[in-house]
Amino acid sequence: MHDTTTLLIEVGALLLALGIIGRLGRRIGLSPIPLYLLAGLAFGQGGILPLSASEEFIAVGAEIGVVLLLVMLGLEYSASELVSNLRRSAPAGLLDGIFNAVPGAAFALLLGWGPVAALTLAGITWVSSSGVIAKVLSDLGRLGNRETPTILSILVIEDLAMALYLPILTAVLAGVGLAGGALTIVIAVGTVLLVLVAAIRFGHAISAVFSVRDPEALLLGVFGLTLLVAGVAGRLQVSAAVGAFLVGIALSGPVAHQATELLAPLRDLFAAVFFVFFGLSTNPSDMPPVLLPALALAVVTIVTKVLTGYLSARRAGIGMPGRWRAGLALSPRGEFSVVIAGLAVSAGIEPRLAPLATAYVLITVVTGPMLARVTDTRWFKRRVRSRLVTSLAPATQAPAGAPDSVPVQAHE
């Protein structure tokens, strides 16, 4: 009874604190993710007020949080949308992977952490935060902008890449042999392809099992199916997060829409617990030595993300302001980066990786939304306007003796 009451007190106090700091973050226009990470640092080992009785409960809640984050991402896209986006945006996705994964891998090798840590850090620096970026685009009223489909396509490519990357990383971290690792990859790829084919051909039949007229049954059914598939995926050496993502893809139509609304509060609750748990696993005293490396890595990979979005938007025919908006919007890292770092921490490959990843995510998730607002400043608009006028000036001047030419107009 004593342990139970202590657990209730600790969990209740933690959730109350998260609710307060989350509201504070939204009031000042800041994503709550860095605040949740800071709360985890404060309540973890070496923090201000360490938690003892609720650590195991929070660990289970963190696992559920990862599963819900991924199933909600899957619910946002149908299988056909994923396939079409993959075909259309494959060059941008390839560019994104090269520009942003290579710096992370090179950084780990320069620090002497070895190839396994290099593979891990490559994923951490590669993938952007879909949740933070979607929130920023919504807050800034840019969901209808011309560059937004380019941004979303890159995020979809990253989500698909993570469906293959996570099983590979899990196998490598587990230290399985070459044959075992190859088998894990084959199972992962086969599972992804099988679910995509089943979702395209039989998606309506799968969704028909659930009814939107009974919200309670729908919530229990989808939540239960997600946990079940995630657990089975984990047993098959495929990431549980990938299994949840595939469940979201398989559901479509009104069922997917209703499930999104019903699962959103649960997702927010357990996702907050997940970010707190990652902070709990990091000792604050380990962070000062890695702050400068994390800052250097953040600067480099923010630049590469901006370059990725800029070039992808230019390839899509977007004007100069839209190219910068696309690049700056992609800079925050968050959910997947923390998931990847969490896998590495569980495997115990490099003790400095967890504090570095925490500091890195904090830096990018705080500066990312701020950088996204730069394109709305008067200074930026004046600079872009002056550059457009300069670049268009020769084209608008008619050669001597020639009829007046039609001025070229810039399109955003």
Tens digits of residue pLDDT in 349-393? 878 888 888 889 888 988 888 888 888 888 887 877 777 666 655
Element (H, E) at 228: helix 215-235
Contact indicator for 310, 316 with CB cutoff of 8 Å: no
| CATH class assigned to 77-272+288-381 | mainly alpha
Maximum C-alpha span of the chain? 96
d(CA 198, CA 288): 49
Most confident range, picked from 270-279, 293-302, 309-318: 293-302
| CB under 8 A, 24+ apart: contacts of 54-60 | 54/6, 54/7, 54/10, 54/11, 54/14, 55/280, 57/7, 57/11, 58/11, 58/14, 58/273, 58/276, 58/277, 58/280, 59/277
Contact indicator for 226, 71 with CB cutoff of 8 Å: yes
Q: Does 110 have pLDDT greater than 90?
A: yes
State the pTM of this model: 0.70
d(CA 388, CA 380): 12
Element (H, E) at 298: helix 288-315
pLDDT at 47: 65
Mean pLDDT of 148-168: 79
The position carrying tokens 């590469």 is: 304
